[in-house]
């Protein structure tokens, strides 16, 4: 067989495969076109307004404000780049938004993580109202955050804290989680300090918690002996802790013969395990509240949950907003005035002015 005949033979042999590929390609194209036709045109800013209205029925005001702040950056990018219909948004656009956000603001990893997480939540919602393609939210690449970067701007607000306390007080009174959250919120102590507590460190009669630095027996404080201090607690919290120790706590000692307040059947609980408890406690679904942004795949904390540091920040800010003098807050929470002002005081300038005015009016 000559070369011409050989080529003709291969062409005839492969022709059905080419036809099949063409058929599949046309089907795929038609499918994509059909998907687009199911989208309802909507301007990005209108979508943001609807998104915020929807979220207000499901999550706290602080969470709505956080999502709105970040998604507004996406809207700004759309307006600057001629994307006036959210239907046109693609995975490539999402990546361009991420780069634009990084370059325009020089933000840190934690802020970028929060930004991309909010975009993912928004795009998942947008898909539910046929504003973007169904799988677009899966193309959002959320950066990993190291423990060092986890010192975030997240903060537990007082409204949510009160909801959590009310729920656990009613349905899980004096449970491990009830005591852990109550203690962190009321005292603002670090998670490491909570882990370091022994049963004997809580004096329920005097209504105080004594925080000690004990590096030789496995529990050191972040600020060493400078972190040691007695902290007053309410009579209500003292009663909760007393009932927990009497009826719930595992009666165990750790490897040094100490009786840890937060114990498992094997001894003192690790910081990582305590942190996981906090993620679970602060997730809305754990108190039977709507948790629409929770992936539910066990791959990480719920999008609505917060870490222990966010509780500490929220507690400190709550005390300041309720006119507790900064010097007292500084000593109680074991944080310097400089650090308190720079990293923990989330009061607005208007709030500070009005608080100073009320204080001066009392003189």
Q: Which of 309, 340, 356 is the last residue in one of the domains?
A: 309
CA distance 172 to 243: 12
User: Which tokens sit at 263?
Assistant: 């114990």
CATH number, domain containing residue 273: 1.10.443.10
Residues 172 and 301 in one domain: yes
* CATH code for position 56: 1.10.150.130
Q: What is the pLDDT of residue 11?
A: 44
**Per-residue pLDDT, 317:** 86
pLDDT of 39: 87
The position carrying tokens 């923990």 is 344
Same domain, 196 and 83: no
For residue 345, tell me if it sits in a domain.
no
Does residue 180 share a domain with residue 133? Answer: no
Handedness of CA 275, 251, 227, 333 (dihedral sign): positive
pTM above 0.85, yes or no: no
Cα separation, 35 vs 27, in Å, equals: 12
Are 137 and 170 in a shared domain?
Answer: no
Q: Residue 3: what pLDDT? A: 46
How many folded domains does the chain comprise?
A: 2
| Containing structural domain, residue 106 | 44-142
Q: What is the pLDDT of residue 72?
A: 93
Q: Is residue 136 part of a domain?
A: yes
**Tens-of-pLDDT digits for all 363 residues of the chain?**
554 554 444 444 444 454 554 454 444 444 444 455 588 999 999 999 999 999 888 876 767 888 898 999 999 999 999 999 999 999 999 999 999 988 876 677 777 888 898 999 999 999 999 999 999 999 998 877 665 555 455 788 889 999 999 999 999 999 999 999 999 999 999 999 999 999 999 999 999 999 999 999 999 998 899 999 999 999 999 999 999 999 999 999 999 999 999 999 889 999 989 999 998 999 888 888 877 656 544 444 576 788 898 899 899 888 888 878 888 888 888 887 777 776 666 666 666 666 566 655 665
Task: Answer whether 38's CB lies under 8 Å from 127's CB.
Answer: no
Q: Assign 3-state DSSP to the chain and report helix, strand, coil percentages, each to 5.
A: 65, 5, 35
């Amino acid at each position: 067989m000559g070369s011409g005949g050989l080529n003709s033979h291969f062409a005839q042999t492969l022709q059905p495969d080419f036809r099949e590929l063409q058929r599949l390609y046309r089907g795929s194209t038609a499918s994509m076109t059909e998907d687009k036709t199911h989208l309802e045109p909507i301007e990005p800013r209108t979508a943001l307004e609807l998104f915020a209205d929807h979220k207000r029925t499901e999550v706290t005001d602080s969470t709505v404000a956080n999502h709105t702040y970040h998604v507004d950056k996406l809207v700004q990018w759309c307006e600057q780049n001629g994307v006036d219909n959210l239907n046109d948004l693609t995975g490539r656009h999402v990546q361009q938004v991420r780069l634009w956000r990084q370059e325009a603001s020089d933000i840190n990893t934690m802020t970028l993580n929060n930004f991309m997480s909010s975009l993912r939540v928004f795009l998942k919602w947008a898909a539910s109202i046929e504003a973007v393609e169904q799988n677009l939210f899966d193309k959002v690449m959320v950066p990993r955050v190291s423990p060092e970067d986890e010192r975030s701007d997240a903060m537990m607000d007082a409204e949510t804290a009160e909801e959590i306390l009310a729920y656990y007080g009613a349905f899980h009174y004096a449970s491990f989680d009830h005591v852990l959250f109550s203690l962190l919120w009321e005292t603002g102590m670090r998670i490491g300090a909570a882990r370091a507590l022994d049963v004997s460190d809580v004096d329920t009669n005097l209504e105080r918690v004594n925080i000690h630095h004990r590096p030789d027996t496995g529990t050191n404080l972040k600020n060493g002996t400078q972190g040691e201090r007695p902290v007053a607690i309410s009579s209500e919290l003292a009663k909760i802790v007393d009932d927990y120790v009497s009826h719930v706590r595992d009666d165990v000692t750790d490897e040094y013969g100490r009786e840890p307040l937060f114990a498992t059947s094997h001894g003192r609980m690790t910081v990582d395990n305590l942190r996981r408890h906090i993620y679970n406690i602060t997730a809305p679904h754990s108190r039977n509240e709507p948790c629409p942004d929770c992936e539910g795949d066990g791959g990480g904390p719920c999008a609505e949950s917060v870490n222990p540091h966010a509780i500490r920040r929220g507690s400190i800010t709550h005390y300041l907003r309720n006119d507790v003098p900064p010097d007292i807050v500084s000593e109680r929470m074991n944080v310097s005035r400089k650090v308190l002002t720079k990293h923990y005081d989330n009061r607005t300038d208007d709030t500070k002015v009005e608080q100073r005015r009320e204080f001066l009016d009392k003189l």
